Structure 1
Amino acid sequence: MIRNPILPGFNPDPSFCRVGEDYYIATSTFEWYPGVQIHHSRDLVTWTLVARPLNRAGLLDMRGNPDSCGVWAPSLSHADGRFWLVYTDVKRLDGAFKDAHNYITTCETIDGRWSDPWYVNSSGFDPSLFHDTDGRKWFVNMQWNHRGNGTGGNPAHASFDGILLQEWSPNRGLSGEITNIWPGTDRGLTEAPHLFRRDGWYYLTTAEGGTGYDHAVSMARARDIRGAYETHPNLHLMTASNDPDHPIQRTGHGQYVETPDGQVYHTFLMGRPIPGADGTGRFCPLGRETGIERCVWGEDGWLYLEGGGLLPREEVPGLAEAQPASPAASEHVFDGDSLPMEFQWLRTPEHERIFRLGDGALTLIGRESIGSWFEQALVARRQEHHVYEAETEVAFGPETYQQGAGLTTYYNRHKFHALVVTDEPGEGRALRVLSCPGDWPDAALTQFPDLARLAPGPVRLRVEIDRAVQRFSWAQGDGDWQRIGPDLDASVISDEGGRGEHGSFTGAFVGMLAYDTSGRAREARFTRFAYRPR
């Protein structure tokens, strides 16, 4: 059986692609670098991260991109003996306008050097490329209407102005008529179009209802690629909006694939909400994850979930006898010359300015403050479990309170908790807990009064997450672990934290950070990092 989610932690907007007996899923990475995660599987049960293709400045430079901007909704396909990747680099989130620039890159192998991109247009976000059987290629995208009431954290239907279709080729770019092929259903916020062809029909799947709890996969079809498109008799292929108690929520935005023997699967993004610290509310610290469902074709020529209804299942029949891997600890000593695959950093293609590997350590170079949109020395990995602990060891000699390095749980500039080694006036080298507990729009910084004065030498730092509760502790040498700071609200580090639903779109990370707002680029040496599900 396949157990959902198949890609736990922040892995939204899954584009699904089959090449022979190999399956690939590309997911959004937003402001995290390198851009786009691509996982591979042969059985739909076990998935391995194999590539992050947008890994140089010529393909992606997000310095200055606001939180939750950057790479939205990639679309991966295979045609003409090569992979094609469509992606959007969003430069603005708040306000009526969206600056969403769309590109295409290509590569013969999934993990090779991807081509310099073709710029396509900026009409909207979440585009895809459809390769028709006659060899023509079609660019499909939503159209953003800045005149509609769809600003900031509360998008409205009027800003999502239908799905556009136009022919595209590598030599000519976009050409021919632009056709608005489908306005969507009454659920609105119609985006993320994907086309496929079957039995003389063109089928269009889209995401609707926003990225929160009203999310859905909707479907339409037409005999001609330009329409007119008729809507699925159920309007939606899947949604969890009518069942708030279902363990899988926020269901939407995925893509259709057939296996070589004709079995049918559809990916979707999903969330697994848990109660807040006071036992009420619901939040998704793991962000939007990737799930998969098995589908069937009805006698009416429409696609339906195999189990009936609109709710995706937690367990789905797979292709072969294979067991999902049990949660495993991940432990690294930084004795190599490359960053372990699970780690990413923020925005910049010039990673050598914020970190380097060698001499038995990951050295972070203190640059701008926590939450900078330009040059922030933060190397982190996704939270993939509701209960876990993470641990690191750092050698750092601050000379001023403007310098800090340590361990953080991080969502964005106004949603993080951090335990940092710094220099406290009159105290010397010490540990302090910093927190930005979802304050919006001021991003106010909380500095807890608890201090731990440090002896010379490296410091071990640990964070423990138990659903909505977070605790920091520290140790030196062979000493025992000691708590520092209060119990912290881990629900802040989630999509729903701060400004709430539709306000941010990534997920919780845990990792190592350094900053030096004095401009002296003080360095911190991290020798190991461990992440352990509990």
Structure 2
Amino acid sequence: MIQNPILQGFCPDPSIVRVKEDYYIAVSTFEWWPGVRLFHSRDLEHFEQLPSPLTRVSQLNLMGNPDSCGVWAPDLSYDGERFWLVFTDVKTRSGSRYYNTHNYVVWSKNIKEGWSEPVYLNSTGFDPSLFHEKDGKMYLVNMINGFEGIQIQEFDKEQMCLIKEPVNVCRGTGRGFTEGPHLYHIGEWYYLMMAEGGTSYEHCETMCRSRSLWGPYEEDPGNPILTSDPVKTDALQKCGHADLVQTQKGEWYLVHLCSRPNANRKCVLGRETALQKIMQTQDGWFRLASGKRYGEQKIPDLKEIEKQPFVKLKLKDEWEEKTIGICYNSLRIPAERFASFTDREGYLRLYGKDFLNSHFEVSLLARRQTKFKSGICTCMEFQPESERQAAGVAYFYDSMNFYLFIKSGNHYGVAWLEVLESDGGVVQTIARRTLSEQQPGIFLKIQTDESGEHAEFLYSRDDRVWEKVAETKTDILTDEHCVGFTGAHFGIYCHDMEQRKGYADFQYFELLEGE
């Protein structure tokens, strides 16, 4: 049996494609760099992360993008020669009719080795996808801003531009927030699958079909084909925003967005990716193989597909490879702008940039939280020259909601440890500990409990005896509190608000997971 979610912790809006024996999934990254997270599998249970496609500022400029804007709902497809990726760069999201949404396409002949510069498509809405017709023609499908429906427009892949006029082919099923469209030509029908109901607890997936690409589209009488059981609180929630794939054995599956709330209905792990088996009925509609419409936590394995070896990501990174691994993310800018492996042998040096509430240049190197019991540990050397310099570890959701466990000091040589809380943009000190003696290195740790509902902030001088500085709830780092679309991250951090080129040296980055 395959256990859901298949991609844990902040992996929303999945798009899937199969190329022979290989399956690839792309997910949203929003304000996190690099843009779009890619995964590869051969059994749809075990996944390896691949290099991101948007790794150059010439492809994606996120400077100044607000929280939970940036890269929304990428769509990954393959035409037999090239991989295609379309995505939205959302610049604002204030008021459903006044989103600034710019859609682009990039392509690659080798998904693991470099992608093109982007080509601008349109700005009429978000969640674009590419539909490849059997005659070789391509069409862009996207929702229309204001949730006014789904439009289709032909794309000329020779000229790399949209041609002819867009057509609004479906205004949704009346459930509201019609988005995330994917189009399929299966048999004699065109199937239009859409996310509706909003991306929270009312989220669902609906389907319509037509014998013509341009409609009219009739609604599936069994809609929604996927949603969540609101009574069974320990089940997958927020299920929706799905994409279909057919296996090499002819089976059908769909990947979809989901969340795992805690007992208080708060989702610190953000929106994740799950997998469901589906079947086509005699009248041609699609239904979950379980016979229900709720996302299941366990589903059958792929038929006659050999399990691939599972390679677990390294949890402790001591920088032996002197590169920033693909499991790391930074905010809005490439980490190379503030991180160096060469300035001190055996350490990663972070040069301080803006304070963590900035939407521009921030020195934060982070990994997403994938387990309820999780955390970060590091050994840091840092000598602050003023109170406006600080470095340490962060537990972060967005620029308005985070915890910082930092070392700071003043020009008199007095240093201290401090736990800062930012709740809705209001920053306050919740604990402070003066350091009685100076020493080169200090060990810092943030760790959560089994439920992920509480976090402790601890430090040590020798990595053996630990002292607790503070304990907090994690509610402010959840989708529900932040009204955001990402998820909690743990990271190493440095700021120098006076721009004196202050820096901190980190001996390692250890992600704490489970026991």
Query: TM-score category by the smaller chain?
Result: over 0.9
Q: In structure 2, what is the equivalent of residue 209 of structure 1? A: 197
Secondary structure of 1:239 counterpart: coil
Q: In structure 1, what is the equivalent of residue 336 of structure 2? A: 352
Paired residues for 1:77-116 under 5 Å: 77-95=77-95, 96-116=97-117
Q: In structure 2, what is the equivalent of residue 488 of structure 1? A: 472
Q: In structure 1, what is the equivalent of residue 400 of structure 2? A: 414
Give distance in 1, aligned partners of 2:462 and 2:234: 47
Superposed CA deviations along residues 306-352 of structure 1, whole A, max 9, x for unmatched, are 00121121111112364996987711102322112211101114x33
State the 1:236 CA deviation. Answer: 1.5
In structure 2, do the counterparts of structure 1 residues 205 and 324 end up closer, same or farther at CA, with 3 Å as the change threshold? farther
Superposed CA deviations along residues 374-431 of structure 1, whole A, max 9, x for unmatched, are 0000000010000123201111110001000001100011111111010057671211
TM-score norm. by structure 1 comes to: 0.92
Alignment size in residue pairs: 505
Give distance in 1, aligned partners of 2:309 and 2:485: 27
Q: In structure 2, what is the equivalent of residue 533 of structure 1? A: 513
Stretches of structure 2 that go unaligned for 5 or more consecutive residues are none
User: Structure 1 residues 326-335 or 473-482, which shifts more?
Assistant: 326-335
The sequence identity of aligned pairs, in percent, is 38
Paired residues for 1:9-48 under 5 Å: 9-48=9-48
Instruction: Answer whether contact 2:416 2:432 (CA < 8 A) is retained.
Output: no
Q: Which runs of 4+ in 1 moved over 3 A?
A: 241-244, 320-329, 424-427
Q: Which residue of 492, 496, 511 maps to 1:512?
A: 492
In structure 2, do the counterparts of structure 1 residues 94 and 261 end up closer, same or farther at CA, with 3 Å as the change threshold? same
State the 1:241 CA deviation. Answer: 5.3
Q: In structure 2, what is the equivalent of residue 220 of structure 1? A: 208
Instruction: Answer whether contact 1:213 1:241 (CA < 8 A) is retained.
Output: no
Give distance in 2, aligned partners of 1:335 and 1:329: 12
Q: In structure 2, what is the equivalent of residue 2 of structure 1? A: 2
Give distance in 2, aligned partners of 1:478 and 1:464: 15
Q: Which residue of 325, 347, 355 maps to 1:340?
A: 325
Paired residues for 1:119-158 under 5 Å: 119-144=120-145
Instruction: Answer whether contact 1:3 1:324 (CA < 8 A) is retained.
Output: no
Superposed CA deviations along residues 243-285 of structure 1, whole A, max 9, x for unmatched, are 452510000001001011210000000000002xxxxx31111
Give distance in 2, aligned partners of 1:80 and 1:327: 31
Q: In structure 2, what is the equivalent of residue 152 of structure 1? A: none
State the 1:92 CA deviation. Answer: 0.5
Q: Which residue of 375, 381, 388 maps to 1:389?
A: 375
Give distance in 1, aligned partners of 2:318 and 2:409: 27
Superposed CA deviations along residues 43-92 of structure 1, whole A, max 9, x for unmatched, are 11101101211000111110000000000000000004110000110010
Give distance in 2, aligned partners of 1:296 and 1:450: 58
Please tell me the root mean square deviation across aligned C-alpha atoms, in Å.
Answer: 1.7
Give distance in 2, aligned partners of 1:416 and 1:242: 29
Instruction: Answer whether contact 1:468 1:490 (CA < 8 A) is retained.
Output: yes
Paired residues for 1:190-269 under 5 Å: 190-240=178-228, 242-269=230-257
Secondary structure of 2:57 counterpart: coil
In structure 2, do the counterparts of structure 1 residues 80 and 389 end up closer, same or farther at CA, with 3 Å as the change threshold? closer
Q: In structure 1, what is the equivalent of residue 152 of structure 2? A: 165
TM-score norm. by structure 2 comes to: 0.95
Secondary structure of 2:475 counterpart: helix
Secondary structure of 2:323 counterpart: coil
Secondary structure of 2:341 counterpart: strand
Give distance in 1, aligned partners of 2:160 and 2:26: 26
Matched residue type, 1:132: E
Give distance in 1, aligned partners of 2:231 and 2:310: 29
Instruction: Answer whether contact 1:389 1:462 (CA < 8 A) is retained.
Output: yes
Stretches of structure 1 that go unaligned for 5 or more consecutive residues are 145-158, 276-280
Superposed CA deviations along residues 94-124 of structure 1, whole A, max 9, x for unmatched, are 2451111000000001111101111000001
